Amino acid sequence: MAVIEHKSYARVGLLGNPSDVYYGKTLSFSLGNFWASVRLEPSKDLLIVPHPTHDLVRFNSITHLVNRLQSEGYYGGVRLLMAICKIFHNFCKDNNITLCEGNFTISYDTNIPRQTGLSGSSAIVTAALNCLIDFYEVRHLIKVEVRPNLVLNAEKELGIVAGLQDRVAQTYGGLVYMDFSKKHMDEFGHGIYTPMDIALLPPLYLIYAENPSDSGKVHSTVRQRWLAGDEFIISTMEEVANIAVEGQKALLAKDYAKLATLMNQNFDLRRHMFDDDALGAVNIEMVEVARRIGAASKFTGSGGAVVVFCPDGPSQVKQLVDACQEAGFVCEPIKVMPSFLNDIDLQTLASK
Ligand SMILES: Nc1ncnc2c1ncn2[C@@H]1O[C@H](COP(=O)(O)OP(=O)(O)O)[C@@H](O)[C@H]1O
Ligand SMILES: O=C(O)[C@H]1O[C@H](OP(=O)(O)O)[C@H](O)[C@@H](O)[C@@H]1O
Ligand SMILES: [Mg+2]
């Protein structure tokens, strides 16, 4: 059997995030600027290959080791690959999907800036899931709608608090409107995912800085408060979800002034719920650099990268680029990836 390789791109939570963690709604798209790739090759034993830099275990000195742990934490992608193997295997077992015999060697690479709210974690997991699906030839047996759950479950397995929006954008590709209403989630186990035309999006920009933050940690306090029935968190999350509803209407009507307002509101609501310490000073500054020149901005995910819209056009983009350069942030045009679904994937959507 030949080598199997899959790429999975970063994603931008354009509107409504993080309400996906709370039965909300989001509008997200697949970001072509960055991707993770996973390679699977048949082999005698089952081998998970540590990445030479992301899973570093050899250091120049103890200071190097400590610095590395302080800036990047303890974990790389190995645990993600292990977790998706487990979740995939158990899902197939529970659903009477027989897996053929045979082992493989699985390795990964990624150029998604680490832990910057661009969903580098689930890009690795999504690409790995696609490899497993093709290795075991079960693509027709695992519906597209349930695949994001498998990706999320792999991360939940590791104690990472997260929602489905990243995994949906990375599974579907393109621009997707997602409705995670409790009733539908309880009944079907997944949300309602509506692909939209990527041509509806205006030119957008990405700002990011190398300042890794752990999305699981960022989320955990708000999640605890939500679980404890905190009225403020519950009602604010509903407002955030409603931003995606309004955003879908605005995009369909090409009302870009409204889009700008909604992006700003989205960030302001996040800031009310998560304290500034959790959001991070650098992350807040990235949002504010854009706002100071009159652009609309918000986090793409839980922090580290910001999506920007310049409603006034090219002159404002120039101001944005200059302001980012001065502040030491990377700023680049966003490339949106179209849908990734092939004929077999689409058939699983059609067969109810
Ligand atoms: N670029 C990367 N390379 C290797 N592992 C990564 C990378 N980014 C994330 N991870 C793994 O995923 C976990 C969760 O990352 P997360 O905070 O969700 O980042 P992101 O915002 O990129 O999704 C990390 O603790 C780490 O184990
Ligand atoms: O807070 C958010 O907007 C998102 O945070 C996580 O994404 P990440 O890229 O890891 O920051 C989480 O997985 C998403 O579900 C949230 O919407
Ligand atoms: Mg993540």
Antiparallel, parallel or unpaired: β 205-208 and 296-299: unpaired
The 3-state DSSP class for residue 37 equals: strand
What separation in angstroms does the CA of 72 have from each of 67, 108, 216? 8, 18, 14
Cα torsion angle, 273, 306, 21, 153, sign: negative
pLDDT in tens, the chain (352 residues): 799 999 999 999 999 999 999 999 999 999 999 999 999 999 999 999 999 999 999 999 999 999 999 888 899 999 999 999 999 999 999 999 999 999 999 999 999 998 889 999 999 999 999 999 999 999 999 999 999 999 999 999 998 889 999 999 999 999 999 999 999 999 999 999 999 999 999 999 999 987 767 666 778 889 999 999 999 999 999 999 999 999 999 999 999 999 999 999 999 999 999 988 889 899 999 999 999 999 999 999 999 999 999 999 999 999 999 999 999 999 999 999 999 999 999 999 876 6
For residue 124, which ligand has an atom nearest its CA? Answer: 1
Residue 143 has a CB neighbour count (10 Å cut-off) of 15
For residue 12, which ligand has an atom nearest its CA? Answer: 2
Q: Looking at ligand 2, which residue's alpha carbon is closest to its atom 7?
A: 301
Instruction: For the chain, list the domains and their CATH numbers.
Output: 4-198+337-350 (3.30.230.10), 200-333 (3.30.70.890)
300 Cα nearest atom in ligand 2: 3
**What is the secondary structure of 157-176 as a DSSP string?**
HTT----SHHHHHHHHBSEE
* C-alpha 305 – ligand 1 centre gap (Å): 14
What is the ipTM for the molecules in this complex?
Answer: 0.96
Tokens 């504010």 map to which residue?
288
Catalytic residue from among 166, 214, 276, 312: 166
Q: Quick check: CB of 298 below 6 Å from ligand 1? A: no
**Active-site residue flag, 166:** yes
> In this structure, which amino acid lies at residue 88?
F
Residue 7 has a CB neighbour count (10 Å cut-off) of 16
